[in-house]
Amino acid sequence: MFHAQPLTPWVTLLAVKRREVWKCNVLAVDCGAEIVLIDGNLTAAEIDRVEADYGRPVSTVFSTHTHLDHVNHLHAAAARGIRILSPAPEAAYLRDIDRLLVAGGMRTKSEREEMKHFMGEVLGLKPVSAVEEFTPGAQFAIGGITIRSVHLPGHAPGHCGYLAGAVSDVRQVFLVADLGLDDFGAWYGFDYCDLAAYRESIHRAETLYDPENHVLLGSHGRPHFPENPGNFKAIRAGIDRTGELILAALRECGAATVDELACSGLYYSPDALGRLDGTMKKLYRYWERCTILHHLRELEERRLVRRDAAADRWSARG
């Protein structure tokens, strides 16, 4: 289930309390005759409770992006005829999970089949064919409420945050989704992630954020009110720190392949990795490999590392 915390008179945070790790913060927006959910990755029982609490139906779910913890229950909403709206190209990934895995960088069919089995059988993910696509940045008006999508690519190509509130009020809730406001920080563990775009998105969100009038919120963690404003600098510092760790590791060992660098404590903690097994371990290894590769490419552009293409080994310059 979830714990409901009103953020403004129109927007309530549904902090999901399920035991599974694949969950995210959900926003319920009171649009008068209908309730709209943002990142409404809720089970059928949880949607029942929203409708009972408000005494009105949930009409629409706006999705932020197609990552497991944001979409593995969306089929429950779709099955009830609730409209599912998703930014491009995330909608295409929701319709066809194979497309997500190809874009994420899983090139071999066997790798993708194992992952699809895990996502479907273990995590309950089902593709949602009825999803409607919109252009990131699109704005919607429903019952006197404005829901504005804010394109924040980098974490995923179509990754969107949302600004939601009444047309007549300056107070808004600003959901920045997986930009990294929580303790974990930024995440860019798929091939389609883009570190330069990620840095620009942090800047875009920071520029849009009005600490006086916005309740700021990430998809994981607690909301930020004027008395505890969100810290975008900390997200940037976390990214920089990972880059510095990778550079320091290369300086120490001379040269290494991405595989040699992965799972050595540069990104995920060895303790966390040690608790995983089977497909989960493979998944984390895959994510960390991609993360390190994004940093190596950035460091290469800054002429701090070089790649020996023949041996596929990376080394620090100078």
Chain residues that interact with Zn ion, rule: CB under 5 A: 67, 178
In three-state secondary structure terms, 38 is: strand
**Nearer residue to Zn ion within complex by CB, 211 or 221:** 221
Nearest alpha-carbon partner for 88 in 108, 63, 109, 121 = 63
**What residue is closest to Zn ion based on CB?**
67
**Nearest distance in Å: CB 137, Zn ion:** 19
CB of 70 to Zn ion, least distance (A): 6
The DSSP call for residue 224 is B
Neighbours of 183 (CB within 10 A): 9
Least distance between Zn ion and beta carbon 67 (Å): 3
> Which residues does residue 29 pair with via DSSP β-bridges, in sequence order?
11, 36
> Residue 178 or 191: which CB sits closer to Zn ion?
178
Q: Report d(CA 300, CA 210) in Å as an integer.
A: 36
| Least distance between Zn ion and beta carbon 187 (Å) | 6
Our CB check for Zn ion shows the closer of 67 and 224 to be: 67
The distance of closest approach from Cβ of residue 204 to Zn ion in the complex, given in angstroms and rounded to an integer, is 17
Of 27, 7, 3, 6, nearest to 15 by C-alpha is 3
Closest separation in Å from C-beta 101 to Zn ion: 15
Burial call 116-132: b when 16+ CB within 10 Å, e when fewer: bebbeeeeebbbbeebe
Q: For Zn ion, give the closer residue by CB, 49 or 199.
A: 199
Question: Is 143 or 221 the residue whose CB approaches Zn ion more closely?
Answer: 221
Sign of CA dihedral 49, 53, 54, 56: positive
Round to whole Å and give the CA distance between 299 and 308.
14
Q: Which is nearer to Zn ion, 10 or 284 (CB)?
A: 284
